Amino acid sequence: MQNYEIYANAYILFGIFLVILRQNIKIQIMSIVKIKDLTFKTFIPEEEIQKHVKEVADKINHDMAGKNPLFLAVLNGSFIFAADLMRYVTIPSEISFVKLASYEGTSSTGDVREVIGLNVDLKGRTVVIVEDIIDTGRTMESMIATLKEKNPDSIRICTLLVKPGKLQASLNIDYTAMSIPNDFIVGYGLDYDQQGRNLRDIYTLVSEK
């Protein structure tokens, strides 16, 4: 009888330990960072990001088999996403990095005037644009129109994040890792005033009360 009580008590204590451990893990995952004048909290942890990036890569591997696609990663925001994506892509492929000139004065017009750094012939190629985030989609729409002048065989869009609630352009987004609400986010390549790109997780802005 005494042995039974010992085992029962040990089982209860083990259960309590597991509850405490789970709570501690949750606390560790949820972290707060301060970037300049704003405070952010964990929104999407690194492990979840990587899971979705791999899922996108798996779809690309399936859809693009035998095509030798050219990935065009849009700087600056997509560089981390593009690097991780390419590690999961197993088919023959190429990658190039470009920047978009779409500014007039101090504000973005959403009209891409020039794709800077494009030194690859797109004629007859299967092109995959790799972007960090699509919100209104106007810049992407304009970029596609510019690239079509180079006579590629096809153009596909691959984005880490999309905000369906802000989308205004009529886009066929072929590969989306994650859809998110209209929150201001930072991390995993995305920045706040050029800071925070190096964060492994994606963070969302903490509302000030």
Query: Looking at the annotation, which residues are catalytic?
Result: 135
What is the distance between the alpha carbons of residues 188 and 79, in angstroms, rounded to a whole number? 9
CA 170 to chain CA centroid, nearest Å: 20
Nearest alpha-carbon partner for 74 in 150, 123, 128, 120:
128
Q: Which residue has the tokens 């190629």?
A: 125
What is the distance in angstroms between the CA of the first residue and the CA of the last residue of the chain? 57
Closest CA to 200 of 44, 95, 82, 76: 44
- The answer to whether 18 and 175 are in contact (CB under 8 A) is no
Strand partners, 162: 134, 179
